[in-house]
Structure 1
Amino acid sequence: MTAETSSPAYTPIPLPDYQEKPLDQMRADAQAFYDEIRTRHTIREFSDRPVPRDIIETCLKAAGTAPSGANHQPWHFSVIGDASMKRKIRLAAEEEERAFYAGRAGDEWIKALAPLGTDDSKPFLEIAPWLICIFGERKSRSTDGEMRKNYYVPESVSIATGFLLAALHRAGLATLTHTPNPMSFLSEICGRPAHDKPYILLVTGYPAQNATIPQHATLKRDLADIATFY
Structure 2
Amino acid sequence: MTVPCRTQNFICVLFFCFLDVENIINISQFLRNMLSKKKLVIDFYTRMMNKMYSIFGDMPFIKQYWPFILTGFLCYLSTRIFYSKYASQDKKKDIINSTYQTPDEIAEISENNSDDTQNDENEECDDDYQPSLPSDLEHIPLNYDRISIDETIDRSNEFYNFMNLRRTVRHFSQEDVPIEVIRNIIRTAGTAPSGAHTEPWTYVVVHNMEIKKQIREIIEAEEEINYKKRMGKQWTTDLKPLKTNWIKEYLTDAPYLILLFKQLFSFKNGVKRMHYYNEISVCLSAGLLMTAVHYAGLVSLTSTPLNCGPALRTLLNRPSNEKLVLLLPVGYPAEKCLVPDLQRKDLSEYTIEML
The bucket for the TM-score relative to the shorter chain is: over 0.9
TM-score under structure 1 length normalisation: 0.93
What's the counterpart of residue 314 of structure 2? 188
SS in 2 for 1:178: coil
Q: Does the 8 A contact of 2:200 with 2:275 survive in 1?
A: yes
Q: Does the 8 A contact of 1:176 with 1:202 survive in 2?
A: yes
Aligned 1:127-138 pairs, distance under 5 A: 127-138=253-264
SS in 1 for 2:273: strand
Aligned 1:67-216 pairs, distance under 5 A: 67-142=193-268, 144=269, 146-184=271-309, 185-215=311-341
Q: Does the 8 A contact of 2:218 with 2:308 survive in 1?
A: no
Over the aligned positions, Cα root-mean-square deviation in angstroms equals 1.6
1:219 offset after TM fit, Å?
1.4
1:97 offset after TM fit, Å?
0.6
What's the counterpart of residue 219 of structure 1? 343
| Cα distance in structure 2, aligned partners of 1:224 and 1:131 | 36
Which stretch has the larger CA shift, 183-192 or 53-62?
Answer: 183-192
1:103 offset after TM fit, Å?
1.9
SS in 2 for 1:73: coil
Which stretch has the larger CA shift, 24-33 or 4-13?
Answer: 4-13
Give the letter for the 2:308 counterpart: M
Give the letter for the 1:71 counterpart: H
| Cα distance in structure 2, aligned partners of 1:211 and 1:121 | 17
Change (3 A) 1:196 1:2: closer
Higher relative contact order (CA 8 A, sep 6+): 1
Give the letter for the 1:180 counterpart: P
| Cα distance in structure 1, aligned partners of 2:243 and 2:156 | 33
Quick check: which one's strand share is greater?
1
Q: Any gaps of 5 or more consecutive residues in structure 2?
A: 1-127
What's the counterpart of residue 54 of structure 1? 180
| Cα distance in structure 2, aligned partners of 1:146 and 1:52 | 38
1:186 offset after TM fit, Å?
1.6
| Cα distance in structure 2, aligned partners of 1:8 and 1:78 | 30
| Cα distance in structure 1, aligned partners of 2:188 and 2:181 | 11
Q: Does the 8 A contact of 1:187 with 1:193 survive in 2?
A: yes
| Cα distance in structure 2, aligned partners of 1:6 and 1:180 | 40
Q: Does the 8 A contact of 1:133 with 1:186 survive in 2?
A: no
1:2 offset after TM fit, Å?
7.4
1:146 offset after TM fit, Å?
3.6
Fraction of identical pairs, as percent: 34
Q: Does the 8 A contact of 1:63 with 1:161 survive in 2?
A: yes
| Cα distance in structure 2, aligned partners of 1:6 and 1:37 | 40
Deviation by residue 1:127-159 (Cα, 9 ceiling, x = unmatched): 1000000000001234x5643110101100000
Larger radius of gyration: 2
Change (3 A) 1:90 1:169: same
Change (3 A) 1:205 1:6: closer
Change (3 A) 1:91 1:7: same
Matched, 1:44 2:170: yes
1:108 offset after TM fit, Å?
1.7
Q: How many residues align?
A: 224
| Cα distance in structure 2, aligned partners of 1:99 and 1:174 | 28
SS in 1 for 2:292: helix
SS in 2 for 1:147: strand
SS in 1 for 2:260: strand
Q: Does the 8 A contact of 1:62 with 1:164 survive in 2?
A: yes
TM-score under structure 2 length normalisation: 0.61
